[in-house]
Structure 1
């Protein structure tokens, strides 16, 4: 085989070669011979079918298999010639030329390689982390919220009007086009108004009702509602409010602390305040990371850590971004893209910069995860999907099946790994800051001790 290879950069290579007609004929014979051992043809015993008959009857399939094997051999030779290992090849190599000529097939293969990433500058990419101080006022407000949640429910006076955060006890039945639908009926249902447990508009429409009132509530199911027979439909719910419950007052004292901190022996109000302060600190940290610092960190990593990108992976990312965008554009724009190949190409090309950044960050995160031993198990992925589905009022099993069937689980896992890697980097900045503060304290203490000794002399 006449073969030449070239590394375009550290992440991309190209191989050119000619698969000789003679070699291809040998492949055709080998493929036909293998096929003759298993194929059944009337009038011939198994394994005794003449090769000429096999070649004639299954000409196209044999030719396709022979060419495929020849290209695979060429690819393996190219990998050897490039002096790389098979595990360095990333994604599926792309055949960019396949010209059949009398002397053979002129083939060009583009190969993407796992990029080499230098992580020395990662620490310089981590933004400084400063948390806002948790004030006593915030602790007190959270303590009051916690106490209110723990307070028992009591019946409200009969003349009370339903308000947000009240608990309504009511019957309801839903109708679409004056016909009841499955799952749209319940009796003595208890609902906290403002919990958003029901679809938009339902709970707000109940505000102002009194015990004993009847009301028809008109709502529209979301277009993406999990029950397809209800999605996007207008509905009327007939409501009968039986009663209203409100939270009773509860004393904030050591007894409440003991109830809320059963794992702590002799828990008191001071312990509970400390627990709430810790929780508020965690929330403040998570908010700061998610709303500000993670984005800064990602931008810094992209701007600082430079390496060659595998072209094929970037192209695949562009394809995905382009396909996803088709679901968000207007019907007129979609029609234009379908009828004008240049416009479609231009639209796809508009995603190149986004794709390059996404691929860059994915490779950096993967390298950091390997360096720092960050892993996410399949079980953790399923637990996360289950929890989020439950929070959205969806069927967890159906959501998991959807992710499986659409091959989305690897993307979910990668997102979770990225989140952990970025959090770990930001946490390391806190640890460094705390270490510096501690060293300064120790240094100050030593100086003070020396000064005291001198004075005593």
Structure 2
């Protein structure tokens, strides 16, 4: 087994010519036969006892070729990629170009590689830091949040429903006079104006009184998750069972004592202001970092393969699934609730993914330019930190994260610190 040639066919794209000798191929065919024969029955032989030559005569000499190639695939292709010295950004596409017992196997592996990156002027980046002042409106929002926690609910029976009310409804949806799946519920609590339902649904409940039964007409969004309903008009039969409203109490010292660690409204307001100022300072720091990163991206050049952006989008979707899982929500259900498709989700992530890929490439290049190194002590400390964070042993963490990958992450972190330390903050 050997790598015969590495051909650069276009920017960031290589074709590896790989050969498997006839001897190695024969050994793999024999392994494939031994593995498969237990399931093969031939006249005159007990199941699993038929000779290989007889099976090949009956089904053709190629009968075990595919299984034999599959047995060799991983070590052969991985070995060839390692021998080529290429840094791939996705799995290679492999095709068999020639195959025979006499001459062995020839493979062609098409590889997409990490691009060459140039980055300049990453030291001394000038950015402005803007810390927003805390306003009375900001403070009042926090005070209102405390009032919200102490809100009481009153039944409304002397007026029609308004935005901001909570209503309890029974509903059933019909398309072309036929009830559709998932369109029915009883005793459903809905906050009017929340946007929980598709456009037009909540607006048409406003103005009705408790006890009324009525129809509302809506049109599902064109990109609605359920294809049968996307863009379709529908009628919902509604029974408005009750209306309630939230009554906000006045903020006073008693409420503050009961709900916080403070004794008076003035003490609580002072603490709210302090925390808001700290949050604004932290936000300003984040904005500064974002501006620095934007400048780094602006000052980098590279012909980046589209697959790197696509891979990052897919990773972000996987991360979304992981965040949804503890809530018992699948990605499909999330898209149904939000009226999205997988394509709209990918589109929403595309810009952010592009920036992240470009920034990572630029930072890796800066780490090389600055000869940033990672010591074994730093690597160990980072593994220990991850183990503590995930409540796992270090050995368990190492099953998922390779030393070299973590070293790259640490080096990139050092590159970030270098750039930020060298930046000029106005």
TM-score band by shorter chain is: 0.5 to 0.7
Is 1:203–2:202 an aligned residue pair?
yes
Partner of 2:147: 147
Partner of 2:378: none
Deviation at 1:228, TM superposition (A): 7.2
Partner of 1:348: none
Q: Which has the larger radius of gyration?
A: 1
2 CA distance for matches of 1:73 and 1:161?
Answer: 72
Question: Structure 1 residues 190 and 213 mapped into 2: Cα distance closer, same or farther (>3 Å)?
Answer: same
1 CA distance for matches of 2:281 and 2:127?
Answer: 16
Question: Structure 1 residues 121 and 69 mapped into 2: Cα distance closer, same or farther (>3 Å)?
Answer: farther
Give TM-score, length-normalised by structure 2: 0.57
Deviation at 1:67, TM superposition (A): 5.4
Give TM-score, length-normalised by structure 1: 0.54
Partner of 2:22: 24
1 CA distance for matches of 2:258 and 2:152?
Answer: 14
Question: Structure 1 residues 298 and 387 mapped into 2: Cα distance closer, same or farther (>3 Å)?
Answer: farther
Is 1:54–2:55 an aligned residue pair?
yes
Larger RCO (CA under 8 A, 6+ residues apart): 2
2 CA distance for matches of 1:212 and 1:45?
Answer: 77
Is 1:271–2:294 an aligned residue pair?
no
Deviation at 1:234, TM superposition (A): 0.7
Partner of 1:234: 234
Partner of 1:137: 137
CA RMSD of aligned residues (A): 5.8
Partner of 2:245: 246
Is 1:304–2:303 an aligned residue pair?
no
Deviation at 1:4, TM superposition (A): 4.0
Deviation at 1:147, TM superposition (A): 2.5
Deviations 1:60-93 (A, max 9, x none): 23334455667767646645654x49xx555333
Contact 1:161 1:207 in 2 (8 A): yes
Is 1:109–2:109 an aligned residue pair?
yes
SS in 2 for 1:154: strand
Deviations 1:221-261 (A, max 9, x none): 4466567776645113233465x443435222222323442
Which of 166, 172, 175 is the matching residue for 1:174? 172
Question: Structure 1 residues 69 and 112 mapped into 2: Cα distance closer, same or farther (>3 Å)?
Answer: farther
Deviations 1:29-63 (A, max 9, x none): 65146515751433235776444323333422333
2 CA distance for matches of 1:145 and 1:124?
Answer: 42
Question: Structure 1 residues 233 and 157 mapped into 2: Cα distance closer, same or farther (>3 Å)?
Answer: closer
Instruction: Show the 5 A alignment for 1:431-450.
Output: none
Question: Structure 1 residues 26 and 54 mapped into 2: Cα distance closer, same or farther (>3 Å)?
Answer: farther
Deviation at 1:384, TM superposition (A): 4.1
1 CA distance for matches of 2:299 and 2:284?
Answer: 25
Deviations 1:159-217 (A, max 9, x none): x343322344x554435255666763535x65432122333222212323345655432
Is 1:383–2:323 an aligned residue pair?
yes
2 CA distance for matches of 1:211 and 1:71?
Answer: 69
Contact 2:219 2:234 in 1 (8 A): yes
1 CA distance for matches of 2:190 and 2:132?
Answer: 36
Deviations 1:414-433 (A, max 9, x none): 97xx69x99x99x979x969
Partner of 1:347: none
Question: Structure 1 residues 146 and 207 mapped into 2: Cα distance closer, same or farther (>3 Å)?
Answer: farther
Is 1:186–2:183 an aligned residue pair?
no
Contact 1:24 1:67 in 2 (8 A): no
Deviations 1:294-336 (A, max 9, x none): 5x56643433345675xxxx36x2xxxxxxxxxxxxxxxxxxx
SS in 1 for 2:53: helix
Number of positions where the alignment pairs a residue of Structure 1 with one of Structure 2 = 352
SS in 2 for 1:274: helix
